[in-house]
Structure 1
């Protein structure tokens, strides 16, 4: 893929993830932390300016910084992420995917991601806001 196309794809996908993460703050079935982490991953590879904005944001940045500092993911975020994984995987396995071995692969992926999320530390809600460290553009 052309570097320029990838650059714009990552920025666009990052912003979609930010929007979904913000919506997840208000909708109980949509997780916030995984979408903001995805946005940060997209931005760190495409736009230091957007990455710095996201991690330094007074409300959104703490979700990312707490995870990156090893403090964990909020319990609500863990529950919502795992629930959404199994709802979407379940729909795919039962109604969308006709091939039996693909169904097993999807189940294995869902199980692996669920275990990974569950094993992450659960964020202590008493932790203070963390000062974000900006990423510098070395290019």
Structure 2
């Protein structure tokens, strides 16, 4: 949960359990106008999407450019078990990030593909991912300074 405080200059501070962040008015307004329910739902979605397998699955589906069957996903998502793939696909489908299409054939055929919402999420995450990767040295340097100061 965010705790907000507005200053007279049109900027505000967002208090989280770890830090105080100065923000501009539009970001401040957005965060402070969220209800507790919206905040909780957004955090839950972020946690689910940022887990180990969902982003890999979304990436594989995006790279494929076409619907993929379960067995093709299992081959392309290296290291995932059949059980975890099934669970993760169900979660992604319930969140509206992928579509599961069942074809009434014998044997039944099931295909998975990204929804526009899933593709949009993936594009937003890639932007954040790139930002982090480009600053890994900065993060490492900060850790080195903390370790040196602790000794």
Q: By the TM > 0.5 criterion, same fold?
A: no
Which structure has more relative contact order (CA 8 Å, sep 6+)? It is: 1
TM-score computed with the length of structure 1 as normaliser: 0.25
Structure that is richer in strand per residue: 2
Query: Which protein is bigger by CA-based radius of gyration?
Result: 2
TM-score computed with the length of structure 2 as normaliser: 0.23
Structure that is richer in helix per residue: 1
